[in-house]
């Protein structure tokens, strides 16, 4: 559902950026320095909002993994292209980057992939999961385990999806800051509501994956 909060929001400080993604009931907040090629921290989880209050159930927090499973409440005001968030009296203003309107906008998880030439369903056990969160122009993936409060990695930046081509430019990457600035290109298509993603991985390996929207 697209509403006043849906989309990507950015706060730019002197040495770092803070990116908020709010899409399909999922929230991420990431602090990084694109110029310094430095990932600082990220947190995220599911959210509900009403009457200028944002309620988040934390699924991951790299600054404090003991927050996982906790519920946090923020007050907010949206005025034009600005979002003012108030957390325990500390206010932060974000500028709207996009309104979350795009064919791939949403929260996705991988459900099938080609292995040795055969499309194989992926059956997850336990609570570990990899999500990809896309707004209209921004993407972030996270590998997490809310059940064990573990965080395995994240990356994100800007993306484009035009004429069957899906491209990413990395702005933060928790595992390897040297990846910042790299661009990746894949073939992509939406078929029966599923995202078919194929091409060469960052390691040069051939991939074909099918991603489905979370909750659909």
- The Cα–Cα gap between 210 and 183 comes to 21
Q: Which domains does the chain have, with CATH numbers?
A: 7-98 (2.40.128.50), 106-213 (2.40.128.280)
> What is the end-to-end Cα distance of the chain in Å, rounded?
13
Would you report the helix, strand and coil content of the chain in percent, each value rounded to 5? 5, 65, 30
DSSP state of 13: -
pLDDT bucket at 90, cuts 50 / 70 / 90: confident
pLDDT per position as a tens digit, 175-208 = 999 999 999 999 999 999 999 999 988 778 899 9
What pLDDT was estimated at residue 1?
62
Average pLDDT over residues 6-14: 95
What pLDDT was estimated at residue 51?
87
Question: By C-alpha distance, which of 112, 106, 186, 178 is closest to 138?
Answer: 106
Percent of the chain whose pLDDT exceeds 90: 86
pLDDT per position as a tens digit, 161-184 = 999 999 999 999 999 999 999 999
pTM score, whole prediction: 0.94
Q: Report the half-sphere exposure of 165 (CA within 13 A, side-chain side).
A: 7
- The Cα–Cα gap between 83 and 29 comes to 14
> 212 has which bridge partners?
109
| pLDDT over threshold 70, residue 147 | yes
The answer to whether the CB of 109 falls within 8 A of the CB of 130 is: yes
What pLDDT was estimated at residue 168?
95
pLDDT bucket at 89, cuts 50 / 70 / 90: confident
Average pLDDT over residues 86-97: 91
pLDDT bucket at 2, cuts 50 / 70 / 90: low
The answer to whether the CB of 190 falls within 8 A of the CB of 106 is: no
């Amino acid at each position: 559902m697209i509403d006043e909060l849906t989309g990507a929001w950015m706060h730019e400080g002197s040495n770092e950026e803070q990116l908020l993604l709010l899409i399909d009931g999922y929230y991420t907040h990431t602090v990084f320095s694109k110029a310094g090629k430095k990932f600082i921290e990220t947190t995220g989880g599911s959210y509900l909002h009403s009457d200028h209050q944002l309620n988040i159930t934390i699924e991951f927090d790299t600054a404090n993994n003991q927050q996982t499973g906790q519920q946090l409440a923020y007050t907010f005001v949206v005025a034009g292209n600005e979002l003012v968030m108030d957390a325990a009296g500390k206010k932060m203003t974000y500028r709207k980057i996009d309104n979350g309107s795009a064919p791939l906008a949403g929260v996705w998880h991988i459900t099938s992939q080609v292995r040795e030439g055969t499309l194989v369903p992926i059956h997850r056990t336990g609570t570990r999961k990899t999500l990809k969160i896309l707004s209209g122009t921004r993407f972030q993936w996270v590998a997490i385990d809310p059940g064990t409060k573990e965080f395995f990695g994240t990356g994100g930046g800007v993306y484009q999806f035009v004429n069957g081509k899906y491209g990413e430019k990395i702005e933060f990457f928790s595992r390897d800051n040297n990846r910042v600035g790299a661009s990746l290109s894949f073939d992509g298509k939406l078929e029966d509501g599923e995202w078919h993603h194929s091409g060469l991985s960052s390691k040069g390996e051939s991939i074909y994956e099918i991603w489905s929207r979370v909750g659909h």
